[in-house]
Structure formats: structure tokens, C-alpha cells
A and B are shown apart, each in its own frame.
Chain A
């Protein structure tokens, strides 16, 4: 099977995973909105948590993948690692946009303000700027090797923000809530809320995998077509 044939097959197969992921996300909406209790202190706005946290989790996974692929690219110079980093960065930027949109819609009714320049919020906004810049950089550099090298350096620098953002609620005095699952004393959520949150994390992780797989296959096809066009011009 040629590279083009296997990429076309991957475009088709990844659509199945993407379809399953969409059903899972739809099921999350139904479970969170209709079958998860309303929190007594915060009211219905607390349910934003079930899409906000999975979006943040997925964005962090996406940027850790970018960082790992970028390091490996600089060592191995395998263009497939650059493609995977590019696909993951694009999907991660979309999920970070989701985090930055859903957070203020919870903050306004609970904190009384859409935004505050708190360490967690500000560093997440900077993460979005870095990866938006990463995507602009990829669009601006034509030569594939140079594009991959420059992007890898920026991808590593961006990924270094992820552990900092995770720790920011511990390192600084912050308005943002502390972790309710990944904390030393174990989860502090009631069982049904925890189950909805974990289902959300699962659904969004599958959603991420489907999107990245699809974009990776598309980028492989684009590179193959560009290489064929360059060959025919010679």
C-alpha cells in the first residue's frame, strides 16, 4: 500500500472513531444536563464544569503530545512526528478556546465577573496565544524541514506551560477552584458527579483522538500531493 492509499484509508477509518466520539459527547450532554444532580450551592451553572474540565484535560493532553513529538522530531528528524505535533496543536488550540469560553460563563454567575487576571486564567490565555502563534508560524514557513524545526522549538516552549498551569492553583493565591479529582486526599465529588466528569474526560479523549487521527491523515495526504507536484515540475 502506498503512502497516499494508506492516508486515504486512515481518513476513512478515523471518521468512524470521530462518529463514535460525537455520539459519546452527545451522551455526555444528556447525562450532564438531565441525569446529574444540580449542585446545592452553585446551582445549574456548576454543570459547566462537565464540559470545561474535559476540554482543559484534552487541551493539556494535546499540548503534551505536541511537546513530546517536538522533542522526538528534533532528535529523529522524522516528518511524521512533525505532522502529529501539527495535528495535535490545532486540536489543542480549539479545546483551549473551549476552556477560555466556558470558564467566564461559569465565572460570571459564581464569582460575579467574567474574567480576573488570576494565575490559572492568565497562564491558560498565554497558552492559547503560544499555540495560536504556533499555527500562524506553520502557515508562514513554506520549506517543510525549516517549518518542522521552528515549530518543534515553539511546541516545546508551549508544552512547558502545561505543568505550570496545572500547578498554578497550588503555587499562587488564586480564585480558581482547587482540583477535585487529582488531589492528594482523593476525589472530593459525590459519586454521580464524579461519574459524569470521568465520562466527560473519556468522551473528550476519544473526540481528541478522532480529530487528531483525521487531521494527521489529511496532512499526510497534503504532503504526498505536494511532493508529487514538486516531482512533476522537475
Chain B
């Protein structure tokens, strides 16, 4: 039976999405200065 651990998958994708999107937004804004 496949284990039900989808919440860990969701958390990882959300955390990495926030990290990378946040850093990209910071870089993007810095280019406007």
C-alpha cells in the first residue's frame, strides 16, 4: 500500500516555492534601484 505522506510533499513544494520566488523578487527589485 502506498503511504499517505502527501502533506510533506506539499510542504516541501510550498517552502521551496516561497524561498525561490522570494529571492527572485528581491533580485528583480534590486535591478530597478
When the two chains form their complex, are residues A15 and B31 in contact, meaning their CB atoms are under 8 A apart?
Answer: yes
Chain A, 67-88, contact with B by CB distance < 8 Å: what is the 0/1 string? 0000000000000000000000
**In the assembly, what is the distance between CA of A108 and CA of B9, in Å?**
11
User: Contacts A15-B31, A97-B19, A211-B27: A102 and B5 contacting too (C-beta < 8 A)?
Assistant: no
A113 beta carbon closer than 8 Å to chain B: no
**In the assembly, what is the distance between CA of A102 and CA of B31, in Å?**
28
| Stretch of A45-53, A128-136, A168-176, A179-187 contacting B (4+ beta carbons < 8 Å) | A45-53
User: Contacts A11-B31, A29-B13, A45-B9: A207 and B20 contacting too (C-beta < 8 A)?
Assistant: yes
When the two chains form their complex, are residues B12 and A102 in contact, meaning their CB atoms are under 8 A apart?
Answer: yes
When the two chains form their complex, are residues B27 and A43 in contact, meaning their CB atoms are under 8 A apart?
Answer: no
Query: Per DSSP, are chain B's interface residues mostly helix, strand or loop, or mixed?
Result: helix
Chain A, 15-38, contact with B by CB distance < 8 Å: what is the 0/1 string? 100100010010001000100001
When the two chains form their complex, are residues A45 and B2 in contact, meaning their CB atoms are under 8 A apart?
Answer: no
User: Contacts A45-B3, A211-B27: A108 and B16 contacting too (C-beta < 8 A)?
Assistant: no
Residues of B close to A15: CB separation below 8 A:
28, 31
Residues of A close to B24: CB separation below 8 A:
18, 22, 211
When the two chains form their complex, are residues A214 and B4 in contact, meaning their CB atoms are under 8 A apart?
Answer: no
When the two chains form their complex, are residues A106 and B12 in contact, meaning their CB atoms are under 8 A apart?
Answer: yes
Chain B, 1-33, contact with A by CB distance < 8 Å: what is the 0/1 string? 011111011011101110110011001101100
Chain A, 200-232, contact with B by CB distance < 8 Å: what is the 0/1 string? 000000010001001101100000000000000
Closest to B17 in A: A29
Nearest CB in chain B: distance from A99 CB, A? 9
Residues of B close to A108: CB separation below 8 A:
8
A94 beta carbon closer than 8 Å to chain B: yes
Within the complex, which residue of B2, B12, B27, B30 is in contact with A51, where a contact is CB–CB below 8 Å? B12
When the two chains form their complex, are residues A55 and B16 in contact, meaning their CB atoms are under 8 A apart?
Answer: yes
Within the complex, which residue of B3, B19, B30 is in contact with A94, where a contact is CB–CB below 8 Å? B19
Residues of B close to A97: CB separation below 8 A:
19
Residues of A close to B4: CB separation below 8 A:
43-44
Q: Name 8 interchain pairs, CB-CB below 8 A, sorted by A.
A: A48-B9, A51-B16, A94-B23, A98-B20, A101-B15, A105-B11, A109-B3, A218-B30
Question: 4 closest pairs, A vs B, by CB?
Answer: A109-B5, A43-B3, A44-B6, A105-B12
- In the complex, besides A101-B19, A102-B16, A218-B30, 11 extra interface pairs with C-beta distance below 8 angstroms are A18-B27, A22-B24, A43-B3, A44-B5, A45-B6, A94-B20, A101-B15, A211-B23, A214-B28, A214-B31, A218-B27
